[in-house]
Amino acid sequence: MERLIDRIVIFLLTVFVGRSIMTDRYLIVVLYSVISIALFDFFLLFKAKVKSSMKMENLSEKAAFALEIVAVAASLVDNRLIILVPIALYGAVIIRNYVALALAVISGLSYITSGEDYNTILYVELLIVVSIYLSFKCSRTEIFENDVKRLRDESVIREEDLLRNNVALIKAKDDEIYLSTLKERNRIAREIHDNVGHMLTRAILQLGALITICKDETLKGGLVGLKETLDTAMNNIRNSVHDLRDEAIDIPTAINDIVAPLREDRKLTLEVDISSDIDKSVKYAIIGVVKEGVSNIIKHSDNEYVDITLNEHPVMYQLVIHDYSEHADEIKANADLSGMGLDNIKARVENVGGNVLITDDNGFRIFVTIPK
């Protein structure tokens, strides 16, 4: 828009200067020529960016380059056509048309020595200077706007990168805290089981022996009550230890440990995207299915590719175990959809209300869905 306004200003100034150079009829013809050159040049350079060299990038810029040279060269043929120069120079500055600029200098010097009225020469030269100034001003504005846009885009990109990095750091910190919590729970459960649990078990056995050899019925009744109390305490401790271990099971870590043997001689692709807040029965079912699936692959499959994906969806968990080869026909011919391992998989999934589909199409695939 700024370029269009500048060209309109230059045209109006051209009308003012042209009236002191030409007769009315010749002036109208020349002004039409100025309008045509201005419109064509504006159209050809509508999407052109400010150049740092005279290199033309497309046909429109080449056409504008030639048009500007012709317009300036015409003023060398007839000095009254000097009023074509300002509008041509405006576009020449944008695309760095140094040929047109050089011809304009020659034309301007020639017009000074042409013997025209001093005021007219002054108006023409000022118009040329104004045209060049407006073009440079517009070019600098465009460069500044482009720099501002580039800096703004870079700022947005940096802000997005920083946000992603912050989210990743927070997630990594949360994962670290979560894993530390799991390790501490495992340690506590192990300590209770190995120390308190063993000591209580030994005390219960010793108390049972005392009850057996005790002859005093009054004392024996007290010992029996004490044994029942210790049995209750032992059961409570056992349940607490089991709960700690259940909560301490981390599915991604557990699956990584299970599939470790596949990494040695298979091309494994593993994707696990699931939250830690899962019912323990579903957790055990998923881990059990992965164990059975990996065990079957190791024992019965020679396929070189294995894909395992576990994803959490809004209403269900989805597990896919797929081992395959480039020789799909051979896999289908050798596939066996029966066996105790596959029956165990079906039983585990059905126990938590899920569905399992086992196929031998395009490799051996176990597809499991478990509702939340």
Summarised one tens digit per residue, pLDDT across range 52-104 is 666 777 788 788 888 888 888 888 887 777 878 888 888 888 888 888 888 88
* Same-domain pairing of 128 and 6: yes
Last residue of a domain, one of 203, 227, 248: 248
Last residue of a domain, one of 104, 130, 148: 148
Q: Look at 22-36, 158-172, 282-296, 352-366 and tell me which has the smallest mean pLDDT.
A: 22-36
Reported as half-sphere exposure (CB side, CA atoms, 13 A), residue 313 has a value of: 10
Q: Supply the DSSP symbol for 336.
A: -
> What is the pLDDT, as a whole number, of residue 335?
47
Last residue of a domain, one of 248, 271, 290: 248
Pairwise CA distance, residues 48 & 54, whole Å: 13
Pairwise CA distance, residues 179 & 5, whole Å: 66
* Same-domain pairing of 39 and 71: yes
Which residues, 6 or more positions from 22, have their beta carbon under 8 angstroms from its beta carbon? 30, 80
Pairwise CA distance, residues 9 & 3, whole Å: 10
Pairwise CA distance, residues 224 & 211, whole Å: 7
Q: What is the reported pTM?
A: 0.41
CATH number of the domain bearing residue 338: 3.30.565.10
Task: Work out the angle at residue 297's Cα, subtended by the Cα atoms of residues 295 and 303, and round it to the nearest 5 degrees.
Answer: 165
* Same-domain pairing of 72 and 92: yes
> What is the pLDDT, as a whole number, of residue 33?
79
Pairwise CA distance, residues 95 & 57, whole Å: 10
CA nearest neighbour of 231 among 191, 200, 261: 200
Tell me the pLDDT band of 338, cut-offs 50, 70 and 90.
low
> What is the pLDDT, as a whole number, of residue 310?
93
Percent of the chain with pLDDT over 70: 86
Q: Is the pLDDT of residue 329 over 60?
A: no
In angstroms, what is the C-alpha Rg of the chain? 44
Give the DSSP H or E segment for 322: strand 316-324
Q: Quote the distance between the C-alpha of residue 27 and its chain's center.
A: 61
Pairwise CA distance, residues 110 & 75, whole Å: 10
Q: Which domain holds residue 215?
A: 179-248
Q: Quote the distance between the C-alpha of residue 252 and its chain's center.
A: 24
How many domains does the chain divide into?
3
